[in-house]
Structure 1
Amino acid sequence: MRFCATLLILATVAACAPQTRDQVARNAARSTVNRVVLDRYPNLPLEAAIDCVIDNASANQIYSLGADTLTGPTASSVQIVAEVVQRPETVRCLATQYARDAGAL
């Protein structure tokens, strides 16, 4: 099933222009990251966490996360999100988003 989902995403992405491919992959990855954040990081602000993870993931990580959008998060996608969340750039992003959200209250 995962193989079929990966082929479907790759076929969709391959048919697009480079900028569109990136956006399709990022949008697909957002779905997987959303589910992982809800399950593993319930105290993080959801939209900020998704944005920070997507913005700080590598292209390969984005494609892997995007491939899991149809089948749901796997152990691999949970590991990818955990790795990205721990990066200093992601931590800074989350802190900035948290401060921005707190200031808006």
Structure 2
Amino acid sequence: MYRLNGHIAVLALAGTLSACSPQAQDEIARSAARSALTPVVADTFPGVPLEPTLDCLIDNANAQQIRALAADAVIGPTESTVQIARDIASKPETLRCLAAEGLPALMRRGGS
């Protein structure tokens, strides 16, 4: 039953997205992807500054990764969500972003 409900939810999200402009579709998908990543980042990378890390992951995800994560937001994080997060985090551009944005946030947090 859960699997069927998950498929229905994904189809509902797809229907909602198809009625939107491309820019709105992107914003909705990125927001959904972000909500799927939030618990994964908090659990998998404890202690890292959440917001800058999420920004770096979302900004460096490709369209296919965003779509997969958006679907995971509907059905809940899976092992696939964790793997996608790790794949995005291992990209050189993501690592540069994390060094530039996440590390200063961590240093500010540690010094306060």
Give, in angstroms, the shift of residue 72 of structure 1: 1.2
Supply the RMSD in Å over aligned alpha carbons. 1.5
Give, in angstroms, the shift of residue 103 of structure 1: 6.0
Identical amino acids, percent of aligned pairs: 45
Give, in angstroms, the shift of residue 68 of structure 1: 1.2
Residue ranges of structure 2 left out of the alignment (5+ in a row): none
- Counterpart pick for 2:43 among 25, 31, 39: 39
Q: What residue in structure 2 maps to residue 77 of structure 1?
A: 81
Give, in angstroms, the shift of residue 99 of structure 1: 4.3
Query: How far does the alpha carbon of each residue in 1:46-76 deviate from its partner, in whole angstroms, 9 at most, with x for none?
Result: 0011111100001111011011112210111
Q: Distance in 2 between matches of 1:29 and 1:90?
A: 16
Does the Cα contact within 8 Å between 2:56 and 2:98 map onto a contact in 1? yes
- Normalized against structure 1, the TM-score is what? 0.91
Q: Distance in 2 between matches of 1:11 and 1:35?
A: 26
Q: What residue in structure 1 maps to residue 13 of structure 2?
A: 9
Paired residue total: 105
Give, in angstroms, the shift of residue 43 of structure 1: 2.2
Does the Cα contact within 8 Å between 2:53 and 2:102 map onto a contact in 1? no
* 1:54 aligned onto 2:58: yes
The answer to which structure has the higher helix fraction is 2
Runs of 4+ in 1 over 2 A off after TM superposition: 98-105
SS of equivalent residue, structure 1 residue 70: helix
Q: Which moved more, 1:91-100 or 1:26-35?
A: 91-100
| Higher gyration radius (CA) | 2
Does the Cα contact within 8 Å between 1:2 and 1:67 map onto a contact in 2? no
Does the Cα contact within 8 Å between 2:35 and 2:73 map onto a contact in 1? yes
